Chain A
Amino acid sequence: MATVLRSKIEPVMTQTHAEVTRDIVRTLETPPRSYYLAVFGAVFLLLIGIVTFTIIIKDGLGHSGYNPPVMWSVYITTFVFWVGIGHAGTLISAILFLFRSPWRTAVYRVTEAMTVFAVMTAGLFPIIHIGRQWIFYWLLPYPNQRYLWPNFKSPLLWDVFAISTYLTVSTTFLIFGLIPDVAAVRDKVTGWRRFIYGQLSMGWQGTDNQWRHYSRAYLYLAALATPLVLSVHSVVSWDFASSIIPGWHGTIFAPYFVAGAIYSGVGMVFTLLIPLRKHLRLEHMITDYHFDNLSKLTLLTGSILFYSYSMEYFVSWYSGNTFEQTTFFLRPFGAQWWSGWTMITCNALVSQLLWFRKIRTNLTSLFVISIFINIGMWFERWVIIVSSLSNDYVPWAWGVLNPTWSDWGILAGSFGWFGMWFLLFARSFPIVAIQEVKEMIPMPRLHPDAHGGH
């Protein structure tokens, strides 16, 4: 343990291994009523989404607020939003693992689960938003007798690959990381649960040999997942950047989108973790120290966003291109000025509050800020997509979009879908990685305080 790097608020694990297992396995016991209420709420939202989608399938996309020239709106906004959310998970679990940042241990399981479910949510949107949902598989390069092949020049196809790759890798990573923990749970439960956890633990015995293979494999998987953190959202950004729409057509887009994705992902981690920690009584494992570090990550990515926003405006002005200039003028001053200002306030400005340690360690303020981040990042995508499309080249065709019940219904459904999976996961699997936390417990020493950092 490199004690010199320790933060002042870094906790020292005082529990024993058995206590850790007990505390975490406790989260899998019969849940309280509030949990059922939350699951019911999520399923209800999901039902709203399902009903809305059914109506869309029946009548067509017209129910949504689409107002040409704005042919992408809430659905694609929400798609990018969820893909972005999915980025914090892999960053925290894979990159921070490779960088040996020990503070990730307490939170990475939550973020990884969030990643998988966010990408699962995002993956629905390309299907929901297309005109003929029942032939979405035409976007896949499957062998067929007609020799019809998708167009590899289209960014939408790159998207298909990026998202499916990311979903595969992050799911594998999550399931793989769970193996020792599931085995620990298996050993604590009885009956049919024991059987199921037993199957999922894939015969884990915790032998040295298993551990050796496991840690190697985990390292390689982390290395494999790492480039995806950068590539997936870069590809998503090229959906826009490779077009010719002013406001989309920017070389800054890939890093800008990746920073935004991590920013939004960490924001969502706050939103999920703060109530969850309280609910599962894990305050002693997920501490101020973790939130402080996550806040710093947020501050960094938020500042990158601040810079990117400024740079977008600067470049559009500096380009001398009237189309670019008009688009960027109309973002804060056009018909949808409120969305432009929401984005700047919630992302560029609110994140700067995290310079203050008091705010970084105050969970109430962090929770409020995380809500701002979620809203701000949704609106960032809204601004990029809707406001850029509203006024591009031909003024005659300009139009302003107003979302309808159908847009909100699908949006609500996506939160329900995500929430449902996340809640089910939180009570079915160890939400804090048992084995990694155990690694953090200092070895028993004669004088425990001799090496303490306090």
Chain B
Amino acid sequence: MSDEPETPPMDRRRFLTVLGASTATAAAVSGCSTSRVEKLIPYLVQSEDQVPGIPTWYASTCTECDAGCGLHVKTREGRAIKLEGNPDHPVNRGKLCVQGQSALQGLYNPDRIKAPMVRNGSAWQEIKWDDAIARLAAKLGPAQGKVAVISGAGRGSFDDFLGEWTAASGGKMVRHAPHDLEAVRAANKQVFGVDALAAHDFGKARYIVSFGADFLESWGPSVENQRGFADAHGFHDGTMAKFVYVAPRASLTGLNADEFVAVKPGSETAFALALANAAGAAGLSQYTPEMAAQETGVPAETIRRIAKEFAAAKPSLAVAGGIGAQSAGAAELCAAVNLLNQAAGNIGQTVLFGADLQSGDGQAALDALAAGMDQGQFQVVLVHEANPVYTQPRSTGFAARFRKVPFKVSTAMVLDETAALCDLLLPTHHALERWDDARPRAGITGLMQPVMEPVFTTMATGDVLLKASQKAAGPLARFNAPSWEAYLKARWADIARARGSADADGFWRESLARGGVYDEPAAPAAVKVASAAVTYTKPAFEGDGEYTFLPHVTTFGDGRFTNRPWVLELSDPVTKITWTSWVEVSPAAAKRIDVREGEILRLTSPHGSIEVPAYIYAGLRDDVVSVPLGYGHTEYGRFAANRGANALDLLGPPKAGGFLPFVATRVRVERAGNAYSKVPKTEGVPRQLGRHIAEAMPLAAAAKGLSLEEWYKGIGEPLGEEHPPVEVEAIKGWRQMQVGRTEGHGRRLGNYAGDHPMWGMAIDLSRCTGCSACVTACYAENNIPWVGEDDVRKGREMTWMRIERYWEGGEADKPLEARFVPMLCQHCDNAPCEPVCPVYAAYHTVDGLNGQVYNRCVGTRYCGNNCPYKVRYFNWYKYNERAFPAPLNLQLNPDVTVRARGVMEKCTFCIQRIRGAQHTARLEDRELKDGEIVTACAQACPSDAIVFGNMKDGDSRVAKIKRDPRGYHVLEDVNTRPAVTYLAKVLHAGSGQRAEG
């Protein structure tokens, strides 16, 4: 939001973090493990950092993707219960995405491999760690020079160690990152001679063009991108950046664009080259708007206009690549975008080389390794944090080649497709259970520390390899550190020395408390154009189908998050589908195929065939169908296995030496008989029907400071119900009477006498991108159960905080526009839910909250019926038992009731946080400070769209934002007097335009 808090609201937490981390060595011995402890033993000598009832915070680093965000891990009684961003970390600045937060469900996943196992025929046999290490060592010794390692681990000390270890064993190691931005790196190498990924400063850009780069979800560090994007594109100080999305399908990023240009798949390069040409890049004169128009199917005027706008805005930013744009010509596209950024003067401004974001070794390296396996070059293969059997399309034949290695070892935490083919399972510690570090980009090294005792009998792979090396002897004997922790500390002592710190121990403790070492980014590296020879190759597709097949990345990434109920239950930000995969078809294509939502379509490419239910999506070209990646696991635990279809089955193998082209096949699409399966989605009716729920106003009006009401008056449309003046008077009088009637009796409509605070929230829709990080934060904080596929079909999901996504336009002549509204309990002053409860389970607190007393609730559900916002959720079954199979229950927040079946529940504005902060203030004998209480949703929101605070305090941030002229209440006419104020979204003129040939 425009009002930045003067001090980061993290003081108490930061204090606790330091406390926790300085005694972190004690953490490893505190807590208790389900697998070992059978008796409850009270503390005789209380450990210093464990006070029952008081959370301890540890700094750590997220390893869920390559971004390497900093974490603050909240632990209670020796259990990690909540992950939040580390405010000091330069990448995520205290925020965390859905996947990062869901790491807890990776930690406590009931399908984790509980101990080392060895294959015994077709079954698995549990063995002791000593035995397991001996078996590994026995194979390693004779396999000298014949060891293959496939690692998905990000860069860091372990990666270095693994590299050295593999080298010492004479083997080969490949870092496999399935959704690597390989094309971007190849283009950087080609154009600038830099084989690395640049960082991007979205916040600075005044004009952003993305060629298929889904930077809010799956392209680069999404939390950082989103913060930058919200800073640039969120309305503030009378202005905002413009964002154009050029791709065949609107991803979540595309839905946030002011203009979505639906180009033919694979033709983005022509568009980019035309822009580069217009921006003055040399040698591209043949790429005229007309030429690009012919290739892309977009009118030449559109291209010319965008080129003009792009050139006029300084600085601007163009980005490209990612799965949705990874056609065979993706490297050309990214090279063209490099030239465009260069010509527009963005290099060094918004495109920052030298950051060197981490990435894998690429498809070619994996292909070479697989070929080696095929030829019997390897005796032993070790797979660590990678699942290539799943992430490689079936057509590559990877699994068959992998099988040929005589001894296969996996360190997977969950039995995934690759581990299922292995002979020995050496389950590693979760990142929250081990010592480690991560180097996601230049200047940033994050530390990880064990925040609790391991959940199962697992072992950090570093320790496994060190021990096995000692046993195997030979060239591996030089890895003689007593433990992985010691090894890591030794390396950090080296880092301390290199940084000129005399006190290595102090440096270590300090870094641990901070979460790592975050150096100021160096000035961006200067790059020169090495080769401007970029051409455009007309896209070619395999297969004879009518539709180009476009896999897309959604919340499951490359499939690694599909075993987490939080992520499965979270509705896809675009389609709002949960728990299963789908195929998106445009309305016109649906008519052509004669298919309606939920009817099963069979997609057939030259490489395979899948069957998935149809979802009609207007943000898609008519000649394209799109299926999310990450489903169709055959293994990977109870939640992931046999769920949905694997989109990779339709893809062909990569060309020799190249990356895996995701947009490369055409598919035949036909109805699979009359099969039907109701799509489990959380979307009811995606149209506002003139109800003023998700408001928007044009930039010109917002810049003038017009209020929403004034603007509506200006265009001659009423905002809400129209009343003649006499009625307005009457309504006003009646409201006044309601307030006045009980004055002096201590209570005015939900506002008790006295100096109680009045809690309220403001949500800026111009910053909200619909990413849904708030939803997962709410699940984690408030012990919200998942209900599963069948109950989602019946609309029973328990999303206290949900993101409503309304469509505007979308017909032939009107551009499609998406409006995201985070919807939660509005904590009405005049709440309809309260008077109807026969037992006072729903009641009003003195500080303006709609309380819900679970113990008192008998479950008449009248409150749910009478809530106009429909934000009350009922426990239809024993979700509290079903949703938290052990050890998932260890994640539950002890400060929040786990609701029994038969009771109503809803958002409480995180009352446990409110009361916690109030108690702390009371103990410290001081007033509460504004910003001290942050609800879980506001805490997680990467674009900082949610602000919570005391509305009565006129200087509070929330009170200031509530005075914004864009502010409005949803369903104002119902006279509920909500405590949540929304700030209208701001639209560029002609927003949401969709040009298509």
Contacts and interface: CB of A to CB of B under 8 A. Distances in A.
A9 interface: no
Interface stretch (B490-498, B681-689, B763-771): B681-689
Given A69-B795, A155-B862, 6 more contacts: A68-B794, A71-B864, A154-B838, A321-B721, A392-B868, A394-B804
Interface stretch (A42-50, A57-65, A286-294, A370-378): A57-65
B871 to A, nearest CB: 8
A245 B866 contact: yes
5 contacts: A60-B876, A72-B865, A148-B856, A320-B721, A393-B971
A398 interface: yes
Contact of A399 (B684, B864, B971): B684
A326 B689 contact: yes
Given A130-B858, A131-B861, A131-B901, A396 B806 contact: yes
B499 to A, nearest CB: 53
A131 to B, nearest CB: 2
B902 interface: yes
A150 B873 CA distance: 22
A148 B804 CA distance: 38
Interface residues of B, number: 54
Contacts of A393: 691, 868-870, 971, 974
A151 B866 contact: no
A68 B858 contact: no
Interface stretch (B2-10, B215-223, B416-424, B829-837): B829-837
Contacts of B857: 131-132
Interface in B844-902: 856-862, 864-866, 868-870, 873-878, 900-902
B15 interface: no
Nearest to B866: A243
B866 A138 contact: no
Contacts of A139: 838-839, 858
B746 interface: no
A395 interface: yes
Contact of A154 (B796, B835, B865): B835
A136 interface: yes
A108 interface: no
A155 B795 CA distance: 26
Nearest to B842: A151
Q: Which of A133, A157, A321, A323 has the most CB of B within 10 A?
A: A323
B683 A130 contact: no
Contacts of A154: 835-838, 862
Contacts of A66: 794, 796, 874, 876
B904 interface: yes
B823 interface: yes
B124 interface: no
A291 B839 CA distance: 45
A184 B747 CA distance: 64
A150 B839 contact: yes
A151 B837 contact: yes
Contact of B838 (A160, A395, A398): A160
A389 interface: yes
Contacts of B683: 396
B870 A68 contact: yes
A242 B795 CA distance: 26
Contacts of A326: 689
A71 B861 contact: yes
Contacts of B860: 126, 129-131, 156
A277 to B, nearest CB: 41
A59 B901 CA distance: 8
Contacts of B837: 151, 154
Contact of B839 (A60, A138, A245, A391): A138
A426 B691 CA distance: 56
Interface in A62-87: 62, 65-69, 71-72
A126 B869 CA distance: 25
B550 interface: no
B734 interface: no
A129 B900 CA distance: 16
Contacts of A244: 832, 866, 868, 974
Closest 3 CB pairs of A and B: A131-B859, A131-B902, A62-B876
A394 B866 contact: no
Contacts, number: 172
A399 B795 contact: yes
A289 B873 CA distance: 54
A68 B859 contact: no
A14 B860 CA distance: 55
Q: Which of A59, A154, A245, A321 has the most CB of B within 10 A?
A: A154
A132 B683 CA distance: 29
A33 interface: no
Contact of A131 (B688, B832, B856, B904): B904
Contacts of A391: 685
B870 A397 contact: yes
Interface of B: 683-691, 693, 721-722, 791, 794-796, 802, 804-806, 823, 832, 835-840, 856-862, 864-866, 868-870, 873-878, 900-904, 971, 974
Contacts of B685: 391, 395-396, 398
A157 B902 CA distance: 19
A398 B684 contact: yes
A394 B861 contact: no
A317 to B, nearest CB: 15
Contacts of A2: none
Contact of A151 (B794, B840, B870): B840
A389 B838 contact: no
A66 B690 CA distance: 28
A323 B791 CA distance: 27
Nearest to A126: B860
Contacts of B832: 243-244
A72 B865 CA distance: 8
B723 to A, nearest CB: 10
Interface in A235-267: 239, 242-245
A71 B901 CA distance: 15
Interface string A369-409: 00000000000000000000101111111110000000000
A417 to B, nearest CB: 22
Given A393-B870, A394-B823, A243 B836 contact: yes
Interface in A312-340: 320-323, 326
Contact of B864 (A67, A68, A242, A394): A68
B115 to A, nearest CB: 34
A451 interface: no
A60 B901 contact: yes
B974 A71 contact: no
A100 interface: no
Q: Which of A60, A131, A149, A243 has the most CB of B within 10 A?
A: A131
B838 A131 contact: no
Given A71-B864, A243-B866, A389-B865, A322 B691 contact: yes
B859 A132 contact: yes
Given A131-B902, A243-B866, A395 B796 contact: no
Q: Which of A66, A160, A244, A392 has the most CB of B within 10 A?
A: A244
Contacts of A160: 838
Contacts of B875: 60, 131
Contacts of A150: 838-840
Nearest to B793: A67
Contacts of A155: 836, 862
Contacts of B904: 131
Nearest to A389: B865
B631 to A, nearest CB: 25
Contacts of A399: 684, 794-795
Q: Which of A71, A320, A396 has the most CB of B within 10 A?
A: A396
Q: Which of A61, A72, A129, A160 has the most CB of B within 10 A?
A: A61
Contacts of B721: 320-322
B838 A156 contact: yes
A447 interface: no
Q: Which of B683, B693, B794, B869 has the most CB of A within 10 A?
A: B794
